[in-house]
Amino acid sequence: MDQTRCPIYVGAMNADTSSGLPFMKMHGLGNDFVVIDGRGESRVDADLARAMGDRHRGVGFDQLAFIEGADDALRLTFYNADGSTSAACGNATRCIAAWEMDRRGSGTLDLLTERGALRAERRDGVVAVNMGAPILDWREIPLAHEICTLHLPIAGDPVATGMGNPHCTFFVDDAEAEDLSVYGAHETHDLFPQRTNVQIASVVGPDHLRVRVWERGVGPTLASGSSSCAVTVAAARRGITGRAVRVDLDGGTLMIDWREDGVWMSGPTSYVFDGVWYG
């Protein structure tokens, strides 16, 4: 990750930076984040997330990631742009892991999330994160009532998967030809009491999928790590692909590998700039 520091000040020009809130802007394949390091006195709530997430009046992001805890037990909390929280955000986890491993000069790192402890590793210039075992039980995804998660009673026959957040995957002939917003409307389907991320996926070749994502609390997004993991799990369960899959998203490519110890996701990370928020 290129960590050349480029400061940006959001708010009053020439203000005293000690009175503002420092943050970093990062992205993974265009799936963008504001990262706030709370190992000092910083705090984040839904109101702050909504204000900073406004792409016209704030900074703009798909997710805000808040870092807290001690160096040997860093914990991440994720907010969507609408102020809601999410237990998982794979691309943000990879970006933060890359930055923190560079800072420490290490090749591995464990980060605590609501999903549990996630292991990150640097491999051949990219960062891989173990996103944990997929959630396949209807109660834990969660769904509103008992149902087979491999075939939901929704037009299009989607698959439900949990990756710490709920996912609904539709397999289609050509993901690029479909209207994503039509599928994205299922974010608020009654079967998903906590709403859901939605993906449309088509087969490019053996173990190669083209995926487009509608993210819960955000809308269309260029990429999503947890969605890529969920699509891979759904495809493998359906027998469409194996368990190691190339996922091509609107913003680029992630490699997903569903192993015995969890679903590993690898791909590039990007640091964009440092900023100070004066909201």
Q: Which residues are annotated as a binding site?
A: 31, 63, 80, 90-91, 165, 197, 215-216, 225-226
CA distance 166 to 158: 13
Note the Cα 175 to chain centre separation in Å: 20
Selection from 134, 90, 126 nearest residue 225 by Cα: 90
For residues 267 and 94, the answer to whether their CB atoms sit within 8 Å is yes
Residue 176 and residue 237 in contact, taking contact as beta carbons nearer than 8 Å? no
**Close Cβ partners of 105 (under 8 Å, ≥ 6 residues apart):** none
Q: Give the sign of the dihedral formed by CA 86, CA 90, CA 91, CA 96.
A: positive
89 is catalytic: yes
Nearest to 169 by CA among 138, 204, 200: 200
**Are the beta carbons of 201 and 171 closer than 8 angstroms?**
yes
Q: Which residues are annotated as a binding site for substrate?
A: 31, 63, 80, 90-91, 165, 197, 215-216, 225-226
Q: 89, 95, 168, 229: which one is catalytic?
A: 89
Q: Are 227 and 197 in contact (CB under 8 A)?
A: yes
Which of the residues are catalytic?
Answer: 89
